[in-house]
Amino acid sequence: PTPASTIGVVADVVGRGPGAFGGELSWYGYGGNDDFEKDLTAAQGEPVDVSIGMIPILAHARYRIATDDPLVPFVRGGLGLYNVRSRHEWNTGRTDRNSTDLGFVAGGGVEYLASPSIAWGGELLYQYVATSDEASNIITLRVQVLFGYPR
């Protein structure tokens, strides 16, 4: 699938050291892959539109790598549940499928301390979702704004 949009909330509880524990609640919306939709259209005999939505509810650990610079690299890993919804629509009908599957996330990124309480950042994540028919492997690049940023 091709990413269409995403929005979410990530919260961390930071101790005295560089580590933090937290959680994430997000929503991802994907459009169907053109080749996949073309194959379904050929099999169905009429145009088919595919959409996929995913809501991960994750717990994670984050480790910030100490630097004297306002640019702070970090690594992150987590585990949780992914609610996945897929919809196939065509002129004469549609099918919907929902499932809740176990998955994990791993990745890293960088945060830039813009002020004592706000940071800008970006991260590259690998997400694995153990869907029942075939596991989903998702690479996500995202930009974020962090409020209440501790240093």
Rounded Cα distance, 6 and 19, in Å: 26
Question: Under a CB-based contact definition with an 8 Å cutoff, are residues 144 and 122 in contact?
Answer: yes
DSSP string, 119-146: EEEEEEEEEEE--SSS-EEEEEEEEEEE
**C-alpha of 60 from chain center:** 13
In angstroms, the CA 50 to CA 87 distance is 6
What is the value of pTM for the model shown? 0.79
Rounded CA-CA distance 119/115 in Å is 7
Digit-by-digit pLDDT tens for the chain (151 residues) are: 555 688 888 888 887 788 999 999 999 887 766 777 778 788 878 888 888 889 999 999 999 998 888 899 999 999 999 998 888 888 888 888 898 999 999 999 999 988 888 889 999 999 999 987 778 888 888 888 888 755 5
DSSP assignment string, 68-131: SSSEEEEEEEEEEEEEEEEEEEETTEEEEEEEEEEEEEEEEEEEEE-SSSEEEEEEEEEEEE--
Q: Cβ distance 83 to 100 under 8 Å?
A: yes
Q: Output the six-digit token pair for 70.
A: 């306002």
Q: Whose CA is closest to 119, among 150, 149, 143, 141?
A: 149
For 103-143, what is each residue's pLDDT tens digit? 999 999 999 988 888 889 999 999 999 987 778 888 888 88
CB 113 within 8 A of CB 70: yes
